[in-house]
Amino acid sequence: MDLVHLWLCLVGLVIILYVVLDGFSLGVGMLFPTARNEEERDVLMNSIAPIWDANQTWLVFGGGALFATFPMVYTILFSALYIPLLTFIFGLIFRGVAFEFRANSTRKTKWNRAFFLGSVVAVFAQGITLGGYISGTTVVDGHFAGGPFDWLHAFSVMVGLALIAGYSLLGATYLIIKTTGTVQERARRQAFWLALVVGGFMLLVSVWTPVHDPSIPARWFSVPRVYFIWTFPLLGVVAFFTLLKSLMAKKSVTPFLSAIVLFISAYLGLLAALYPYAIPPAVTVLEAASQRETLIFTLWGACLVLPVVLGYTIYSYWVFRGKVVAEEGYH
């Protein structure tokens, strides 16, 4: 495998890590209003308080790595998707400060709202960004040449809604692991209904994508993809039924893992559909990559540092393992 494809896999891995890790943190944020009282809200908050920042850091690294290794993707897409991307950031700002400000506040209602709204806005905008990206970007001479609202259409809005359901599902299954009693019971019910909604969306996307962009199914059925492309929907279907079964059997960890596998199946399907384009339909992966020296220099860092990062991230999760209780803050 050459350097560019190695980096493609690495950036791809970082993005899915971000999606899963910040996905469940954002999902907990979106389920926030379903908590009945302040004590339950504290439980939800405390379930992610020590780790949300580390989860979100995968975004910072993902952004930096994309900029360093595929600068054309970074510069063209960020110009094209200006409004949804900055909306995403605005959402993250409010979600992020809500942790600290809510903990310091006596009148928590407004920060409860900021936490919820920030999470919803961030996720919806992230989905629209993804939908806008899949739909294609106008590129002339290596620069964005489209209009400011190219990303806004029914397909991208649908992806936005699908992502809200998807992250909520991750959040609910995470809460099953971290909580007890009524909060856990509710999370289980929510996970069940959300699973059905997510299943519906995935079916819808599978039908709509080829209609929306006929070049994608053409790529699906080209060699060598035609030999393995069917494994992704199969993986998705298996994960979906495992999820439902484990929820009904009141398992605690399996639902979360199944939900993650469900996400991975959709993600791999998407990647397989887009390759070899880094920016459909204009720029390929090889065209978008930066110079060899930069790829090597950054790879050194990734090889030396990321295993250590993963190590202490796992340690941190280990330190905060077990069920959360309402009063465990630092104030």
Partner 1 sequence: MDVVFLSRLQFGLTTAFHIIFPTLTIGLALYLVIVEFLWLKTREEIYYRMYRFWVKIFAIHFAVGVVTGITLEFEFGTNFARFSQAVANVIAPLLAYEGMTAFFLEAGFLGIMLFGWNRVPRVIHFLSTCLVALGATLSSFWIMAANSWMQTPAGYELVDGKFMVTDFWKAIFNPSFPTHLIHMVLASYETAAFVVAGISAYFLLREKDVLFYRKSLKLAFLLAVMIAPLQVFVGDQKGLVVAHHQPAKLAAMESHWETNTEGGAPFVLFAIPDMEAERNRFEVTVPNGLSLLITHSMNGKIQGLKDFPPQDRPNALITYWTFRIMVGIGFLFPAVMLWGIVLWWRNRLFDTPLFLKTLVAIQPLGFIATVSGWVTAEMGRQPWVVYGLLRTTDGVSPIAAGNVIWSLTLFMFFFALIGASYFFYVLRTLRRGPDLTSPIPPVQRPAGMRPVKDSM
Q: Applying CB under 8 A, does 104 fall inside the site for partner 1? A: yes
Closest approach of Cβ 45 to partner 1, in Å?
Answer: 12
Q: Applying CB under 8 A, does 142 fall inside the site for partner 1? A: yes
**In the complex with partner 1, which residue's Cβ is closer, 104 or 182?**
104
In sequence order, the β-bridge partners of residue 283 are 279
Q: Applying CB under 8 A, does 12 fall inside the site for partner 1? A: no
Q: Applying CB under 8 A, does 15 fall inside the site for partner 1? A: no
Q: How many residues does the chain have?
A: 331
Q: Applying CB under 8 A, does 297 fall inside the site for partner 1? A: yes
- H helices of 136-214, in order, are 154-178, 181-212
Q: Applying CB under 8 A, does 68 fall inside the site for partner 1? A: yes
Angle at the Cα of 189 from the Cα atoms of 53 and 164, rounded to 5 degrees: 45
Closest approach of Cβ 75 to partner 1, in Å?
Answer: 4
- Give the number of C-alpha atoms closer than 13 A to the C-alpha of residue 303, restricted to the C-beta side: 8
Closest approach of Cβ 218 to partner 1, in Å?
Answer: 30
Alpha carbon distance 76, 69 (integer Å): 14
Q: Which amino acid is at 14?
A: V
Q: By CB under 8 A, which span of 74-82, 151-159, 239-247, 261-269 interacts with partner 1?
A: 74-82
Nearest partner of 289 among 281, 279, 280, judged by Cα: 279
**C-alpha gyration radius of the chain:** 20
- Report the residue from 189, 301, 323, 325 that binds partner 1 according to the rule CB under 8 A: 301
Query: What's the Cα-to-Cα distance from 268 to each of 23, 30, 70, 315, rounded to whole Å?
Result: 17, 25, 19, 28
Please state whether 271 falls in left (phi above 0), alpha (psi between -120 and 50) or beta.
Answer: alpha
Q: By CB under 8 A, which span of 15-23, 156-164, 207-215, 302-310 interacts with partner 1?
A: 302-310
Nearest partner of 37 among 25, 45, 49, 27, judged by Cα: 45
Q: Applying CB under 8 A, does 327 fall inside the site for partner 1? A: no
Q: Applying CB under 8 A, does 148 fall inside the site for partner 1? A: yes
Closest approach of Cβ 284 to partner 1, in Å?
Answer: 16
Token pair, residue 116, equals: 């919820």
- Report the residue from 6, 15, 97, 237 that binds partner 1 according to the rule CB under 8 A: 97
Backbone φ and ψ for 59, nearest 5 degrees, come out as -70, -45
Say how many C-beta atoms besides its own lie within 10 A of residue 143's C-beta. 12
Q: Applying CB under 8 A, does 282 fall inside the site for partner 1? A: no
Q: Applying CB under 8 A, does 49 fall inside the site for partner 1? A: yes
Q: Applying CB under 8 A, does 312 fall inside the site for partner 1? A: yes
Token pair, residue 95, equals: 């979600």
Q: Applying CB under 8 A, does 193 fall inside the site for partner 1? A: no
- Report the residue from 33, 147, 181, 276 that binds partner 1 according to the rule CB under 8 A: 147
Q: By CB under 8 A, which span of 60-68, 124-132, 195-203, 244-252 interacts with partner 1?
A: 60-68
Q: Applying CB under 8 A, does 319 fall inside the site for partner 1? A: yes
Q: Applying CB under 8 A, does 290 fall inside the site for partner 1? A: yes
Closest approach of Cβ 137 to partner 1, in Å?
Answer: 12
Please state whether 141 falls in left (phi above 0), alpha (psi between -120 and 50) or beta.
Answer: left
Alpha carbon distance 125, 63 (integer Å): 16
Nearest partner of 209 among 162, 160, 270, 124, judged by Cα: 270
Q: Are 294 and 11 in contact (CB under 8 A)?
A: no
List of residues contacting partner 1 (CB under 8 A) = 49-51, 53-54, 56-57, 59-61, 63-65, 67-69, 71-72, 74-79, 82-83, 85-86, 89-90, 92-94, 96-97, 99-101, 104-105, 142-145, 147-148, 290-291, 293-294, 297-298, 301-302, 305-306, 309, 312-313, 316, 319-320, 328-331
